[in-house]
């Protein structure tokens, strides 16, 4: 680092588990960019101050993770069309003091799902577990793929109903009561966990019983630490195809890198360094 180094980072609560600094610093090195990326623990009460700090210190870009993806929007100058439709921001670009919010979660997730597990989502029935900021971006991106139906389930059922009703009717998203979830899973083509249940260090927790899924269906988890969650391990034993969160993590970071730098992201190097950090 020197006086010309451009600063980037990620904010969240918790944040110590994040592999973003490893991945993005490798990307900067790979492309010969004088940039540095760090993780910052920001609690909800500190969010407005943190965003003011981005302006004041001249950070070029920021990633935003749990639990700030929705609340951060109030402190930005502009929201991209995709992020506005999703109702959540995970990437901020500082354009000469003007902070612009984007959502790369959804597009990163769908790219990964199609490459690694289900090449076509058209006509499929998809269940999404969780109604937080991560779910919002993914729901919007899934809806662009013309599925037959997207069913949204959350333990606090009012949150699922509220989120489903806030999105365009054209997206064919409806809420599903938790009590009906088991039956719905038995005929779904893809079941996606967008919650933090099963994330390190609570690696034995599962969002639902994976044996509810039909054999051959895709069980997908946004969590990438651990690489294979307890939910995915159970689903695999049950005869499901599984899809972990690493690909989404790589691609959401790659899209953010491209927004910040205007250069194509070194995706292979980014994946390599993250896998190496897991000892893979």
Tell me: the pLDDT tens digits for 104-123? 999 999 999 999 999 999 99
Distance of alpha carbon 43 from the chain centroid: 19
Global pTM reads: 0.88
**pLDDT interval class at 129 (50, 70, 90):** very high
Strands (E), the chain: 6-12, 35-41, 61-64, 78-79, 91-95, 98-102, 125-129, 149-153, 173-176, 190-193, 218-221, 241-243
What residues are designated binding site for NADP(+)?
81, 130-134, 154-159, 222, 245
Higher pLDDT, 40 or 167: 40
Same fold for the pair 6-103+247-277 and 106-244: yes
Q: Minimal CA–CA distance to 174: which of 131, 111, 213?
A: 131
Q: Minimal CA–CA distance to 135: which of 158, 106, 96, 93?
A: 106
| Residue 239, pLDDT above cutoff 80 | yes
Q: What does DSSP say about strands 149-153 and 78-79: parallel, antiparallel, or unpaired?
A: unpaired
Q: Give the tens place of pLDDT for each residue, 44-66.
A: 999 999 999 999 999 999 999 98
Q: Are 39 and 14 in contact, with CB atoms under 8 Å apart?
A: no
Q: Mean of the per-residue pLDDT values for the chain?
A: 95
Give me the catalytic one of 31, 69, 124, 280.
69
| Residue 280, pLDDT above cutoff 80 | no
According to the model, what pLDDT value does residue 17 have?
A: 85
Token representation of residue 102: 């984007």
Q: Do you know the residue count of the chain?
A: 280
For residue 248, give the 3-state DSSP assignment.
Answer: helix
According to the model, what pLDDT value does residue 167 have?
A: 87
| Residue 86, pLDDT above cutoff 90 | no
According to the model, what pLDDT value does residue 200 have?
A: 86
**pLDDT interval class at 133 (50, 70, 90):** confident
| Residue 98, pLDDT above cutoff 80 | yes
What residues are designated binding site?
18-20, 65, 81, 90, 105, 130-134, 154-159, 222, 224, 245, 252
Phi, psi of 239 (to 5 degrees): 100, 20
**Any catalytic annotation for residue 124?**
no
Domain 6-103+247-277 sits in CATH at 3.40.50.10860
Name the residue ranges covered by the structural domains of the chain.
Answer: 6-103+247-277, 106-244
Q: What is the DSSP code string of 211-234? A: GGSPTTPEEEES--SSSS-HHHHH
According to the model, what pLDDT value does residue 2 have?
A: 95
What residues are designated binding site for shikimate?
18-20, 65, 90, 105, 224, 252
Looking at the domain 106-244, which fold is it? Answer: Rossmann fold (3.40.50)
According to the model, what pLDDT value does residue 44 have?
A: 97
| Residue 168, pLDDT above cutoff 90 | no
**pLDDT interval class at 161 (50, 70, 90):** very high
């Amino acid at each position: 680092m020197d006086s010309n180094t451009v600063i980037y980072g990620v904010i969240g609560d918790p944040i110590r588990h994040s592999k973003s600094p490893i991945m993005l610093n490798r990307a900067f090195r790979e492309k010969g960019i004088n940039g540095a990326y760090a993780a910052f623990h920001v609690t909800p009460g500190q969010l407005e101050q943190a965003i003011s700090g981005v302006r004041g210190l001249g950070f070029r870009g920021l990633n935003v993770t749990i639990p700030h993806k929705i609340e951060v929007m109030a402190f930005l100058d502009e929201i991209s069309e995709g992020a506005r439709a999703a109702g959540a921001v995970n990437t901020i670009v500082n354009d000469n003091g003007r902070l612009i919010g984007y959502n790369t979660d959804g597009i990163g997730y769908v790219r990964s799902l199609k490459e690694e597990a289900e090449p076509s989502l058209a006509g499929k029935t998809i269940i999404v577990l969780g109604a937080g900021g991560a779910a919002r971006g993914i729901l919007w991106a899934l809806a662009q793929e013309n599925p037959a139906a997207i069913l949204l389930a959350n333990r606090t059922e009012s949150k699922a109903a509220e989120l489903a009703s806030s999105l365009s009717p054209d997206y064919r998203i409806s809420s599903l009561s938790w009590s009906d979830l088991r039956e719905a899973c038995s005929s779904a083509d893809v079941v996606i966990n967008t919650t933090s249940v099963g994330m390190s260090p609570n690696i034995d927790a599962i969002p639902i019983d994976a044996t509810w899924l039909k054999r051959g269906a895709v069980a997908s988890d946004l969590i990438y630490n651990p690489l294979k969650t307890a939910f995915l391990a159970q689903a695999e034993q049950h005869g499901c195809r599984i899809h972990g969160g690493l690909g989404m993590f790589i691609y959401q970071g790659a899209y953010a890198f491209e927004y910040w730098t205007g250069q194509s992201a070194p995706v292979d190097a980014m994946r390599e360094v993250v896998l190496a950090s897991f000892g893979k």
